[in-house]
Structure formats: structure tokens, C-alpha cells
A and B are shown apart, each in its own frame.
Chain A
Amino acid sequence: MANSNKLSKSAEQNAVLTLGDVTIRFGGLTAVNGVSMSVKRGSIVGLIGPNGAGKTTAFNVITGFYKPSSGYVEFTPPNAPPMKITGLDPHKICKAGIARTFQNIRLFGNGTVLENVMTGAYVRQKSKWWMNILPVFPGAIREEREIRRQAAVLLERLDLIRFMNAHAASLPYGAQRRLEIARALATKPSFLLLDEPAAGMNPRESAELLGFIRTLRDEFDLSILLIEHDMKVVMGVCERIWVLDEGRLIADGDSAAIRGNPRVIEAYLGKEASHA
């Protein structure tokens, strides 16, 4: 524990996200218990832990779906002072620059692939909703056209352009996961949360994903926090890993440090050592 505190202090200078002693209780259950951590700008950080450790709950706190019982979440947009985002509505947090994907894919199933991505871009759209009712606001029309174009560029980039007009729900599984990422990127985030991006993928696909996450970070100038069960993905891509167990942070460090940490092995890798 002492070790982790020291590390997070040193990371604070250039942190994009800081959790300060965050605790969440549901009735009698404490899902997240006094977690302090920070994510360095431009880094790819993994959040791991056994089932029920509180990883997704932590994501839900960061994105505003749960209000922490105590503690704070601080986010620093690029070229701006840090802001407390604790208790903000989720859509405001997204507007501030945090986007996420979901563990159990949540696309807009009745919309097309293109529409899904365009929906993501709405948060940055300047023209008002009524400006498109009559074609008398050339600015609004131009902006919609631009959103459509940029959505197509994103789809091209995520290798989804051939599905452009297909219904989102009809896509193969891996493509749905990529579409969720494309939709999140359309909100122009500076910080991206990925909830089990490799879930349900075969080894070849998750190996591809590994490289892809790095490219994403560089290309879109992102910091990335990801939850993942696939140890190969976590160890391969994450520059730093945080380990949660029963709501508490039990370890952090680079992949080598995590691999050798006895508490982690006990809590988590003990069961999954054969995979790693």
C-alpha cells in the first residue's frame, strides 16, 4: 500500500484522471473502498481484478452513473485546469472529454452503423436541433455534412466502412466492439475507457486489438484506461496496471511488478496463472 501511494504522488503532476479516496456503498455492500489512483496523460493503464472486484463500478463512477459515497474524481482536459467531475451528469462528463465502451455492448441497435457514429458526434455539434427543419441555415447543413464525412472517416479507420448502412445489431461481434470504439471516438475524447474490449475475441483478434489500442492512443492523442480479463492483452499493452480486489486497490505497477506481486497472485492470478 505504501508503495502505491508513493507512486501515485509522483504521477500526479501529469495526471489526466485522479481518483481521490473513492468509496461507493450500495446498501450494506461496499463495492469500491477508498480507491486512490491516477492515470498519466498519454498512457495506457489497465484495471484488473477478479469478478466482482469493483472494476465496472469504478468505471461507472468515473463516467458519472454512480455518485461516490465519499471521495472525488478529478479530470484534466488537455490545455485546461483540472476539474472535479464527481457528481456531474454523465453527458457533461462526456462533453468534458471522457468516453467509454461497455462490457455488454450497448449500441443503438435499430440505427445504422453510420448513424451510431454520428450520434456520438452530436455532443460536439454546434447548430441547434431546429435549424435542420427548414433548409435556411446553410451553416447547420454544412455542419451535418461535415459530421457525416468525419463519421465515415472514423468508420474507414476502424475498418467498418463496408458495414456503413447496415443495422448495428446485425454486425458480427468483433465489428460491434469496434463500432462501440468508433462511436466513443466520435465524441472527440481525450480520455477513453474501454470495458473488456477483448471479451469474446479469439487469440488472433485480441492480438490485433493489442496493436490497435496503441495506434488509437497515438493517432487520437488519447489516454486510455481499460478493464480486461485477457492477461495477454493487459500485460502486452498496459504501461501500468492497477489491481482491484473486493473493492480495494491491492497493487499497482508495470506488468513485471504485477506478475511478481504475491497479493495479486493470491487474489487473482492464482486462478488464472495458467493463462498468463
Chain B
Amino acid sequence: MFMQHFINALGLGSLYGLIAIGYTMVYGILRLINFAHGDIFMLGAYFVFFATIQYKLPWALGVFIAVMGAILSGLLVDLIAYKPLRDAPRISALISAIGVSFFIENASMVAFTARPQAVIQPKQLVEAFSVGDIRLVPLNIIVPAISFVLVGMLLWMIYRTKRGLAMRSISHDIETTRLMGVSVNRIIALTFAIGSGLAAVAGIMWALRYPKVEPLMGFTPGFKAFIAAVFGGVGSVPGAMLGGLALGFIEIMSVAFFPTLSGYKDAFAFVLLVIILLVKPTGLMGEKSEDKI
């Protein structure tokens, strides 16, 4: 029984982690909470739903289309709503982000209707098999596996390539990096693309796990993933993954052991947020920054 919960938590946690990476990377570079990130996640899920279930395309192609679609959406959001505000006060960009998030959610409601749509899971993914006395569903193993592979690739990119270096240097000091001749806008776009791509992958896996899609499906996971990012230390990719896993475990385990709390499940993350912000606002792996007087 515990093993079941463990695998469940691993799956949920790694999905939170994947979404959290997008928040953490954008915040690291632009100091902006990309409110629309959870909605990009939702779009990824819808794109794959339309491609594979409405238009009966093969899954591989559907996933490719969904990821590309989400990347494009992420880039568009940055171009339209954030780029004009690069030099504006940070809260202005945040309000713009909230506006975009509402736009995507409501436009999706208009375009896709507010009704949840069932996602038909491919048989191979959900046919359970047994190892000893543990029953395993392939999907529950594939989700964390894919997540960890993607995070590994991302970490390699950030710490071993030139673009990754540029990214880290922008998050440290955007103006100096600009002066060093790095095309800051291109790196920012790359950051949005990576974040949106990962969110789309998470959205697809989410849609398969709870087999449905709906326009507001991004709000709660998005918010929780942001909390995971704060928990891990905003700006840190490994931190985001760790935070996501921690949140997944807290949620699954607390409901597993205290079933009466299930109604409050969604509140745990928020309570966690308030606690982190009070005790260690920089998170587990975040760096401290000082205001200059």
C-alpha cells in the first residue's frame, strides 16, 4: 500500500516539478511570476487532446504538435504581454501576466467550452501488471521517468552549454550580460520556449493521468507548481524539481494517512507557501540578495 502511494506521489510530484521549472526559469531571469504558465500547461493538454482524439493523429505526432503549439503560445505571451513591459515596474508586468492568464482561460472556455472532455488513454499505458504484490500501471512509471530524463537534459544544457551559461549569467545580472554582447532577448525567448515545452509535456501527462481536459485545469496545478518553485528556491532548476516532489509527497501522503483531510487537500500547498515565505523566503536552494541602501 505504501509503495502504491509512493509511486503515486512520485508521479504527481514530478509533474509539479516539470511545471515549476518554467516558473523558476522565467522568474530567475525576468523576476516575473509568469501567471500564464499554468494556462500554457492547459493548452498543451488540449492540443494533444485535439490532435489525437478529435483528429485521430498518432500519439507521437500529437505530442509533437502539442509541445510545438505550447512553445509558440509561450513565445507569443512573452512577445505581446511581457516584452513591452521589460522596463516597467515589476508589478505592472505581473498584472499583465494575470491579464494574460485570464485571457487564455476564458478564450479557451469560449473556444473549447467549459465542459470537461474525456481523454481516452492508450491501452498500453494503463494496463496494470504486477511485480511481487505491487500492482503497477505503466503510466505511473513513465511519468516520473520522462520527467527525470527531461530535467537531466535541461540541467546538462544549463551547466554545460554556452546558452546555458548565458542564461545563468542573465539571471545574475541582465544589464552586464547585455553589455557583454549576449543577445538577451533571444535567451529570454529560449527560456520561455523551454518552460512552455516542459509545461506542455506535463499537461499531456496530466491529461493522461486524470483522463480529462478542461479550460481551468491549469490554475490549481500551476499555482501549486509555483509554490513548489518557491519551496525549492526561485531561480533554481533542481530546486524546482525537488520542491515539486516534496509537494507531491506532502499531498498524497497526508491524504493517504489522514483521509478526513481530503477536503483540505488543496490547502496544504498554500499553507506550505505561507510557512516557507515566513521561515525561509529564499527557499531550499535559493540565493540571498540584499537591498542596497
B293 at the interface (CB under 8 A from A): yes
Interface membership of A56, Cβ < 8 A? yes
- Bin the interface of chain A by size: under 10
Mark A90-132 against chain B: 1 for CB-CB distance below 8 A, else 0: 0000000000001000000000000000000000000000000
Give CA–CA (A102, B290) in the complex, Å.
Answer: 17
Chain B residues, CB < 8 A from A30: none
Q: Which residue of A lies closest to B292 (CB)?
A: A104
Q: Residues of B contacting A26 with CB < 8 Å?
A: 290
Contacts of A163 on B, CB cut-off 8 Å?
Answer: none
List residues of chain B with CB within 8 A of the CB of A60.
293
Q: Is the interface of A mostly helix, strand, loop or mixed?
A: mixed
**CB closest residue in chain B, given A56:** B293
Tell me which residues across on chain B come within 8 A of A102, comparing CB atoms. Answer: 293
- For chains A and B in complex, what number of residue pairs have CB atoms within 8 angstroms? 5
Q: From A102, which residue of chain B is reached at the shortest CB distance?
A: B293
Q: State A56–B293 Cα separation when bound (angstroms).
A: 9
| B20 CB to nearest chain A CB (Å) | 28
Q: How far is the CA of A273 from the CA of B293 in the complex (A)?
A: 29
Closest Cβ–Cβ distance, residue B180 to chain A (whole Å): 23
By beta carbon, the residue of chain B nearest A106 is B293
Q: B250-293 toward A: CB 8 Å interface, digit per residue (1/0)? A: 00000000000000000000000000000000000000001001
Residues of the A chain whose Cβ atoms lie less than 8 Å from the Cβ of B290 = 26
A169 to chain B, nearest CB (A): 15
Shortest CB distance A24–B (Å)? 12
* B92 shortest CB reach to chain A, Å: 15
Complex alpha-carbon distance, A26 and B292, angstroms: 13
> When each residue 48-91 of chain A gets 1 if its CB lies under 8 Å from chain B and 0 otherwise, what string results?
00000000100010000100000000000000000000000000
Nearest CB of A to B206, in Å? 41
Residues of B within 8 A of A56 (CB): 293
- Smallest distance from the beta carbon of A209 to chain B beta carbons, Å? 23
Contact with A along B171-215 (1 / 0, CB 8 A): 000000000000000000000000000000000000000000000
Q: Report the minimal beta-carbon distance from A52 to chain B, rounded to whole angstroms.
A: 13
Residue of A nearest to B291 (CB): A65
- Bound form: Cα–Cα A56–B290 in Å: 15
Closest to B288 in A: A27
CA distance A60 to B293 in the complex (A): 8
| Assembly CA distance A26 to B288 (angstroms) | 11
Bound-state CA distance A71–B134 (Å) is 63
A68 to B28, CA, bound (A): 31
Q: Give Cα A136 to B290, complex, Å.
A: 45
B215-252 residues with Cβ-Cβ distance < 8 A to A are: none
Contact with B along A1-22 (1 / 0, CB 8 A): 0000000000000000000000
| B interface with A by C-beta (< 8 Å) | 290, 293
Report A's interface with B, CB cutoff 8 A.
26, 56, 60, 65, 102
Closest 4 CB pairs of A and B: A65-B293, A60-B293, A56-B293, A102-B293
Residue contacts A-B, CB under 8 angstroms, 5 given:
A26-B290, A56-B293, A60-B293, A65-B293, A102-B293
